[in-house]
Amino acid sequence: MAKPTPKFLRRSIEYKQLAQELAAASSKNFYDLARSLNDLHAISPTALVEVCKQSGRSSRHAYYLSAAGEFIRKSGISKVAAERLGWSKLAAMARHVADRPALTDKELQSLIALAQQATVYNVQTALAEKKPPARRDRAVLLHFPPDQYELIEAALLAHGATRRGKGLVGKEAALLAMAKSIAS
């Protein structure tokens, strides 16, 4: 006669199956996935990593989603409000409130108001109690095939960028130096 499966193990299996189904669904709706990953993480962190591998998500992404799920659960934020803010802002807020006691309604509303009006970077900066940059920097994201990147990298190095690890430091200044040499 087989032993009955313990209740916590049944719950773990159910949470894992639900998380796998939600992770496999290609959707912008992260609310249910974040909550299920948080439930799974609370019961079995190793199962969270397995779900990540099976769904093609990075473990970092899954942990951030799990943190967002924890914030959703603790704050009681609605699905519509959570989807409007986005998982990255919720994960930033979750890291901020992780070691604090329960939020008051006023604190929660203040956090949500901040997140609605700011970028993820500015939310993280404000929550870290650092002064956000006074100016609005612009970001440029460029994609190059490997042969073209080698050319760009050589030009940036020639204009003052330096290697650090696998990347370059001082790219912005080097790019501006290139632009100034062309403009003059």
- Taking the domains of the chain in order of start, what are their residue ranges? 7-127, 146-183
| 130 pLDDT more than 60 | no
pLDDT in tens, 2-41: 554 445 455 666 666 666 565 555 556 778 888 888 888 8
Query: Is-contact 52 76, C-beta < 8 A?
Result: no
Query: Is-contact 19 45, C-beta < 8 A?
Result: no
Name the 3-class secondary structure at 163.
strand
pTM of the model: 0.57
- Which residue in 74, 82, 76 sits closest to 33, CA to CA? 82
| 112 pLDDT more than 90 | no
Mean pLDDT throughout 39-45? Answer: 81
Question: Which residues 6+ apart lie within 8 Å of 126 measured at CB?
Answer: 114, 118, 132
pLDDT in tens, 67-104: 888 888 888 888 888 888 888 888 888 888 877 777 78
